[in-house]
Amino acid sequence: MKYFSMLIKPASSLCNLKCKYCFYHDVASNRETYCYDVLSDETIENIVNKTVGYFKEPAQISFAFQGGEPTCAGIEVFKKFINQVNEVKKDFHDIHYSIQTNGTLINDEWIELFKEHHFLVGVSLDGYQSNHDLVREDRNNQGTYDRIMNTIEQLKKNGIDFNILTVLTSSLSNHAKELYKFYQEHDLSYIQLIPCLSDFNHESEYGLKPKEFFNFYNEFFDLWFEEYRKGIYRSVTFFDNIIPMFAGIPPQQCGAMGFCSMQFVAESNGDVYPCDFYVLDQYKIGNINQNTIVELAKSKITQEFIQEKRVLSNQCNSCPYNKMCRGNCKRMSGVYFDLEYCGIKEFLEAKEKQIVAIAQTL
């Protein structure tokens, strides 16, 4: 079976919040057009016809909706998209939907849509209330914690698969125990901890540093491992990726492969880019309204992007954990590594014994 995925930004960079560390605000601010109109009927048709319609044999096709805040596009855009997929898809097409949302606009109609079409819902929640409300405010400078927790309860009540995305900022990295306890108390078992990036052009007070990365995960892993020994498995993205590699299983995240892979990120106007971190004018590979998927995949910019050779430091090349990391994602390298220190290396040195023991059970 063939596999294809596309990340779509139906509302472009439009958002009803003003999070203090927003990475896509920084990306959009570094291109000529900050925000495009919401996804049009024409672009919906072209995305679906040129992806689902392209595969004439069994294929698993995944559409992920992100932003900005994707629900700002309105639910009718999603209904039109799904209806178009249903018109084009064949019995041998396995279609999957997911969405990353701040959770503030989710009402009963959205819940019904997610439930009917088996969406995997990622909810942005930065842990306990005092931290979350500090960095994730709405346009009226009000915290959003209570609204999001209500959305999570609705997802649980309706049996909708969801996970939590927490942005690991410099300040939050000092509170591993408090964060882990929060996940336990609220029965949150699927966690994506995403390191906060500094902006393209300057350091951010929220950006995570390599030593902070180590300090956080050094403590967080011990709490996680204590539960693991009791037969409780809490899915944490970093652990889910690093542990199988010690069993010889290839990495799931593209950053750990040592090279960039093609992500097919579509802005709301149909412009396509190779990676969500690089939705910038100079990385535009074409437009789904004018180009086929094959043309986009074979474009000069695409090929240069995925074939770019990573130049690693002597420290990286001689590292005993090089095959577990390979320098990691070029955009996120500042989170893990500086010229003299690597947070991933120190973490693996500290926890290798436990990680190997778990890997041997896989």
CATH of the domain at 288: 3.20.20.70
The pLDDT, as a whole number, for residue 27 is: 79
- Asked if residue 44 is part of any domain, the answer here is yes
- Asked if residue 166 is part of any domain, the answer here is yes
- Asked if residue 331 is part of any domain, the answer here is no
Residue 293 pLDDT exceeds 90: yes
pTM: 0.94
Which residue's entry shows tokens 């959770």?
103
**198: which DSSP letter?**
P
Lowest-confidence segment of 177-191, 202-216, 224-238 by average pLDDT: 202-216
Other beta carbons within 10 angstroms of residue 339's beta carbon come to 6
The pLDDT, as a whole number, for residue 323 is: 80
Quick check: 146 and 126 in contact, CB under 8 A?
A: no
Residue 202 pLDDT exceeds 70: no
Read off the pLDDT of each residue in 323-342 and give the average, rounded to a whole number.
Answer: 78
Residues 6+ apart with CB under 8 A from 136: 17, 19, 20, 102, 124, 126, 143, 144, 145
Residues 6+ apart with CB under 8 A from 281: 31, 32
The pLDDT, as a whole number, for residue 51 is: 98
How many helices (H) and strands (E) are present in the chain, helices listed first?
15, 10
Residue 331 pLDDT exceeds 80: no
- Select which of 240, 276, 281, 338 is catalytic: 276
Read off the pLDDT of each residue in 335-356 and give the average, rounded to a whole number.
Answer: 91
The pLDDT, as a whole number, for residue 91 is: 95
The pLDDT, as a whole number, for residue 132 is: 98
Which residue's entry shows tokens 């690991």?
168
Active site annotation includes 222: no
Query: What element of type H or E holds 8?
Result: strand 2-8
- Total domain count for the chain? 1
Read off the pLDDT of each residue in 100-105 and give the average, rounded to a whole number.
Answer: 98
Quick check: 334 and 213 in contact, CB under 8 A?
A: no
As a whole number of angstroms, the distance between CA 282 and CA 302 comes to: 11
Higher pLDDT, 244 or 340: 244
- Asked if residue 11 is part of any domain, the answer here is yes
pLDDT digit string, tens, across residues 37-71? 999 999 999 999 999 999 999 999 999 999 999 99
One-letter amino acid for residue 34 of the chain: Y
Q: Tell me the pLDDT of the chain averaged across its residues.
A: 93
Read off the pLDDT of each residue in 145-170 and give the average, rounded to a whole number.
Answer: 98
Banded pLDDT at 85 (limits 50, 70, 90): very high
- Asked if residue 187 is part of any domain, the answer here is yes
Quick check: 256 and 263 in contact, CB under 8 A?
A: no
Quick check: 120 and 161 in contact, CB under 8 A?
A: yes
Other beta carbons within 10 angstroms of residue 146's beta carbon come to 12
245, 351, 262, 247: which is closest to 306 by C-alpha? 262
As a whole number of angstroms, the distance between CA 278 and CA 262 comes to: 11
Banded pLDDT at 258 (limits 50, 70, 90): low
The pLDDT, as a whole number, for residue 306 is: 83
pLDDT digit string, tens, across residues 13-44? 999 999 999 878 777 888 888 888 999 999 99
The pLDDT, as a whole number, for residue 101 is: 99
As a whole number of angstroms, the distance between CA 110 and CA 302 comes to: 35
- Asked if residue 132 is part of any domain, the answer here is yes
Instruction: Give the three-state DSSP class for 222.
Output: helix
As a whole number of angstroms, the distance between CA 71 and CA 350 comes to: 42
Residue 359 pLDDT exceeds 90: yes
Can you state the percent helix, strand and coil of the chain, rounding each to 5?
45, 15, 40
Residues 6+ apart with CB under 8 A from 280: 27, 30, 31, 273
Banded pLDDT at 131 (limits 50, 70, 90): very high
Residue 170 pLDDT exceeds 80: yes
The pLDDT, as a whole number, for residue 124 is: 98
As a whole number of angstroms, the distance between CA 108 and CA 171 comes to: 35
Banded pLDDT at 325 (limits 50, 70, 90): confident
The pLDDT, as a whole number, for residue 238 is: 93
- Asked if residue 105 is part of any domain, the answer here is yes
Banded pLDDT at 318 (limits 50, 70, 90): confident
Other beta carbons within 10 angstroms of residue 271's beta carbon come to 24
Read off the pLDDT of each residue in 175-186 and give the average, rounded to a whole number.
Answer: 99
- Asked if residue 222 is part of any domain, the answer here is no
Q: In terms of residue numbers, what domain contains 92?
A: 2-208+254-308
The pLDDT, as a whole number, for residue 201 is: 65
